[in-house]
Amino acid sequence: MGWTSLLLPIGIAQGLFLATVLGFRKGPNRSAQRFLALLLVFIALTMVGRLVAESAWVVAIPNLLAFPDAIIFLYGPVLYYSVSQFFPSQTPRALVQAVHFVPVSLFILGEIGLQTEWLKQAMVTAFPACSTFYCWGALVEGGAISMNALFLALSIRQVYRYTHIEPGHDHHAILRRVTVGLLAVLSLILFVWLLGFLSWTVFPASGLFVISYSSVWLLLVGGLYVFSFVVYFQERRVVHQKKPRATLSSRPPITERKALQARIDVHMREVQPHLDAKLSLQTLASQLNITPHKLSYLLNEGYGMGYADFVNQHRVEAFKQLVQHGRHREVTLLAMAYEVGFNAKSTFNAAFRKATGMTPSAYVKVWERDNRLGSVGEIRDPK
């Protein structure tokens, strides 16, 4: 394997170290961090598989190599789940989530099937000029590249949609830049992987696939090192989506903090700025006559949440008030969401589920049942 045998142990150690840091870190976005930690563990295990691929005990038990091959089908779904937790949008149904794991299930069934002579013979009959190992390997690798490209595109779309429908968050901007950088590196790795695959399947005589595959490992190790540095040394600004770094002026004494929180509560209750869909951290801070950093600090320390969650919580409560007044019998739930300040259905559904643990329509049905008003009118769900 050459220099890769020296490089891979570094990548394995770095990936497992970062996975441990992320997996056991407390604070916001723990679910997202754990999915990201799981992705790093999968990458490290793939490196282990590559490192021991030519060892004597693996050669004696070749079926062990199916394990790292199965893992590459899990990269995409786990990455997408992590990004979806960092940048929440509409939560997919359980059936849709289960579909994400169909490819790895098919791979496992295929590996089991290849242990039978009839499937081997069927493959030879269908592709007489192609060995079983070559055809199956090309099918597996091509499918894995296609699936990971799809989930990478979905992850990029998730970041784009969320950051364009929830503008004005300083901490989201920092997280977005880091996430976009990570996705850019993964896109480069996937592109180099594709070049190696095409060189192996279409132009095997060129030998370019050796360079391409070696470059994939180099990029993986380098990417893990850079990402570890960013997360470990910039953890307060990157992963947690926490408040901006507070200055002394943004950390008021506890008595002043309580007075400012009381002012915030009165302002939100009487002025109801959350009903404005264009409200931003800077605008709300200006209305309260304090700096954005001080407001961000107050929200995190006093309410235990960031700006977006704070405002969306008030919007969810305003939506509940509309339900109590029977507004859902006059307009759709989506129209009600727009009335209380949401500007996208996906943001509304995600915020409502986060605040209540149920969908808006389920909440309305429960409220109707508990208040025995179900026969009065029809719930108009968003279309």
Q: Which is higher by pLDDT, 217 or 317? A: 317
Phi-psi region of 299 (alpha: psi -120 to 50; beta: other; left: phi over 0): alpha
Fold match between domain 4-238 and domain 249-370: no
Weakest-pLDDT range from 118-122, 158-162, 248-252, 274-278: 248-252
Q: Please state, in angstroms and rounded to a whole number, the distance separating the CA atoms of residues 229 and 12.
A: 15
Overall fold of domain 4-238:
Rhopdopsin 7-helix transmembrane proteins (1.20.1070)
Structure tokens, 125 = 């009959």
What are 284-297's pLDDT values in tens digits? 988 988 888 888 88
Weakest-pLDDT range from 30-34, 162-166, 261-265, 332-336: 162-166
Structure tokens, 343 = 């500007």
Q: Please state, in angstroms and rounded to a whole number, the distance separating the CA atoms of residues 334 and 383.
A: 8
> In terms of C-beta density within 10 A (0-12 exposed, 13-18 middle, 19 or more buried), how is residue 81 classed?
buried
What size, in residues, is the chain? Answer: 383
What are 345-368's pLDDT values in tens digits? 888 999 999 889 899 999 999 988
In this prediction, residue 245 carries a pLDDT of 47
In this prediction, residue 238 carries a pLDDT of 41
CB of 97 within 8 A of CB of 58?
no
pTM: 0.58
Q: How confident is the model at residue 72 (pLDDT cuts 50, 70, 90)?
A: confident
The angle, 0 to 180 degrees and rounded to 10, between the axes of the packed helices 345-356 and 360-370 is 50
Q: Which is higher by pLDDT, 158 or 87? A: 158
Q: Please state, in angstroms and rounded to a whole number, the distance separating the CA atoms of residues 289 and 295.
A: 10
pLDDT over 90 at 373, yes or no: no
Q: Return the C-alpha torsion angle 353, 355, 358, 363, nearest 10.
A: -120
pLDDT over 60 at 92, yes or no: no
pLDDT over 90 at 311, yes or no: yes
Spell 149-174 as b/e; 16+ CB within 10 A means b: bebbebbbebbebbbeebebbbbbeb
Q: Which is higher by pLDDT, 230 or 62? A: 230
Question: Would you list the domain boundaries of the chain?
Answer: 4-238, 249-370
- What share of the chain has pLDDT > 90, as a percent? 15
- In this prediction, residues 208-236 reach a mean pLDDT of 71
Weakest-pLDDT range from 41-55, 102-116, 206-220, 224-238: 224-238
- In this prediction, residues 200-228 reach a mean pLDDT of 77
Q: How far is CA 22 from CA 19, 25, 34, 175, 316, in A?
A: 5, 5, 6, 15, 31
Class of the CATH-defined domain 249-370: mainly alpha
Weakest-pLDDT range from 114-123, 278-287, 360-369: 114-123
Spell 65-79 as b/e; 16+ CB within 10 A means b: ebebbbbbbbbbbbb
Query: What is the 3-class SS of the chain, one letter each residue?
Result: CCCHHHHHHHHHHHHHHHHHHHHCCCCCCHHHHHHHHHHHHHHHHHHHHHHCCCCHHHHHCHHHHHHHHHHCCCHHHHHHHHHHHHCCCCCCCHHHHHHCCHHHHHHHHHHHHCCCHHHHHHHHHHCCCCCHHHHHHHHHHHHHHHHHHHHHHHHHHHHHHHHHHCCCCHHHHHHHHHHHHHHHHHHHHHHHHHHHHHHHHCCHHHCHHHHHHHHHHHHHHHHHHHHHHHHHHCHHHHCCCCCCCCCHHHCCCHHHHHHHHHHHHHHHHHCCHHHCCCCCHHHHHHHHCCCHHHHHHHHHHHHCCCHHHHHHHHHHHHHHHHHHCCHHHCCCHHHHHHHCCCCCHHHHHHHHHHHHCCCHHHHHHHHHHHCCCCCCCCCCCCC
Q: How many of the other CB atoms lie within 10 Å of CB of 347?
A: 21
- Of the candidates 237, 90, 81, the one whose C-alpha atom is nearest the C-alpha of residue 169 is 237
Q: Please state, in angstroms and rounded to a whole number, the distance separating the CA atoms of residues 48 and 277.
A: 49
